Chain A
Amino acid sequence: MSKIETNASRRKFLKQVAAGATTATAASIIPSRAFSANKQLTVGMNIPMTGDLAPWGLPGYYGCEIIARNINAAGGVTIGGETYDINIATYDHGYETDKAVQGMKKLVLEDDAKMVMMLGGATVAAVLPWATRRKVLTTTLLPSDITPDSNYLVATCESHPLYNVTGVEWLARNYPDAKTAVIVTNNDVEYGLQSTATYQAAFEVAGIEVVDTNLHGFDVTDFAPIVSSVLDKDPDIFCMATSFYVTPIMEQLYHQGFDGKIISCTLDFYHEIIAKTSVDFVNGTIFQFPDFDDPALADVNFPDPGGFDAAFRADHPNDWSAVAWEYPVILLNWIENAQAAGSVESEAVTAQMTGSEQNFVFGGGSWWGSQLWGLDNVLVGKWPVVVVEDGRARIQEYGDLAAWLDANNDVLIKHMKALGLRTV
Chain B
Amino acid sequence: MELLIQTVVNGLIQSGFYALAAIGLVLVFGVMRVVNFAHGELVMIGAYTIWFVHAQNGVPYLITVVLAILLVTAIGLLMERFLFRPMTGDPLGGLICSIGMLFILQVIATYVGGEGPSKQVPPPFEGTLIILDSVRIPYQRVFSIAVAICALGILWYFLTRTKFGWAVRAVSMDREAAALQGISTIRVSMIAIGVGAAMAGLAGALMAPLTNINPHMGHNVIIAAFIVTIVGGVGSLPGAVIASVLYALFHTFVTTYFSGTIATISGLVIMVLVLIVRPTGIMGHRVSE
Q: Using a CB–CB distance below 8 Å, which chain A residues touch chain B?
A: 49-52, 54-55, 58, 187, 215-217, 219-222, 224-226, 228-229, 232, 245, 247-248, 251, 255-257, 268-269, 272, 275-276, 318-319, 321
Q: Which of B122, B130, B211 contacts A221 (CB 8 A)?
A: B211
Question: Is B259 close to A, CB under 8 A?
Answer: yes
Residues of B near A248 (CB, < 8 A) are 210-212
Question: Is B79 close to A, CB under 8 A?
Answer: no
**A359: min CB distance to chain B, Å:** 32
A52 lies within 8 A of B10 (CB): no
Residues of B near A220 (CB, < 8 A) are 255, 260
Known A-B contacts A216-B261, A225-B7, A228-B6; the reply to A276 vs B122 at CB < 8 A is yes
Residues of B near A272 (CB, < 8 A) are 120, 122
Tell me the complex Cα distance, A224–B7, Å: 8
Residues of A near B182 (CB, < 8 A) are none
Residues of A near B118 (CB, < 8 A) are 52, 247
A245 lies within 8 A of B212 (CB): yes
Tell me the complex Cα distance, A49–B117, Å: 10
Known A-B contacts A221-B220, A255-B136; the reply to A50 vs B211 at CB < 8 A is no
In the complex formed, the residue of A with least CB distance to B217 is A221
**B254: min CB distance to chain A, Å:** 9
A224 lies within 8 A of B10 (CB): yes
Mask, B7-21, CB within 8 Å of A = 1, is 100110110000000
Question: Is B93 close to A, CB under 8 A?
Answer: no
Task: Beyond the given A54-B116, A245-B212, A247-B212, please list 8 additional residue pairs across the A-B interface where CB-CB is below 8 A.
Answer: A228-B6, A232-B3, A256-B136, A275-B120, A276-B121, A276-B122, A276-B209, A318-B116
**B145: min CB distance to chain A, Å:** 12
B10 lies within 8 A of A55 (CB): no
Which 10 pairs across A and B sit closest by C-beta, in order of nearness? A217-B261, A255-B138, A232-B3, A275-B122, A225-B256, A224-B10, A55-B117, A229-B256, A272-B120, A225-B255
A54 lies within 8 A of B256 (CB): no
Known A-B contacts A228-B7, A256-B136, A276-B122; the reply to A219 vs B264 at CB < 8 A is yes
Tell me the complex Cα distance, A276–B210, Å: 9
**B192: min CB distance to chain A, Å:** 26
Residues of A near B210 (CB, < 8 A) are 222, 248, 251
Known A-B contacts A55-B116, A247-B120; the reply to A217 vs B13 at CB < 8 A is no
Tell me the complex Cα distance, A275–B126, Å: 11
Residues of B near A255 (CB, < 8 A) are 128, 136-138
Tell me the complex Cα distance, A69–B128, Å: 49
In the complex formed, the residue of B with least CB distance to A248 is B212
CB within 8 Å: A-B pair count: 99
Tell me the complex Cα distance, A49–B138, Å: 34
Question: Is B252 close to A, CB under 8 A?
Answer: yes
Residues of A near B130 (CB, < 8 A) are 257
Tell me the complex Cα distance, A29–B21, Å: 50
How many residues on chain B are close to A (CB under 8 Å)? 40
Tell me the complex Cα distance, A219–B211, Å: 12
Q: Which of B6, B137, B209 has the most CB of A within 10 A?
A: B6
In the complex formed, the residue of B with least CB distance to A214 is B259
**B106: min CB distance to chain A, Å:** 11
Chain B contacts with A in 139-171, Cβ cutoff 8 A? none
B260 lies within 8 A of A54 (CB): no
Chain B contacts with A in 162-192, Cβ cutoff 8 A? none
Tell me the complex Cα distance, A219–B212, Å: 12
Residues of B near A256 (CB, < 8 A) are 6, 128, 136
A269 lies within 8 A of B117 (CB): yes
In the complex formed, the residue of A with least CB distance to B5 is A228
Tell me the complex Cα distance, A177–B238, Å: 53
B3 lies within 8 A of A228 (CB): yes
Residues of B near A221 (CB, < 8 A) are 211, 217, 220-221
Question: Is B49 close to A, CB under 8 A?
Answer: no
B14 lies within 8 A of A222 (CB): yes
Residues of A near B137 (CB, < 8 A) are 255
Mask, B104-138, CB within 8 Å of A = 1, is 00000010000111101111000010100000111
B128 lies within 8 A of A50 (CB): no
**A320: min CB distance to chain B, Å:** 11
Residues of A near B220 (CB, < 8 A) are 219, 221
**A50: min CB distance to chain B, Å:** 5
Known A-B contacts A50-B115, A58-B116, A221-B211; the reply to A257 vs B136 at CB < 8 A is yes
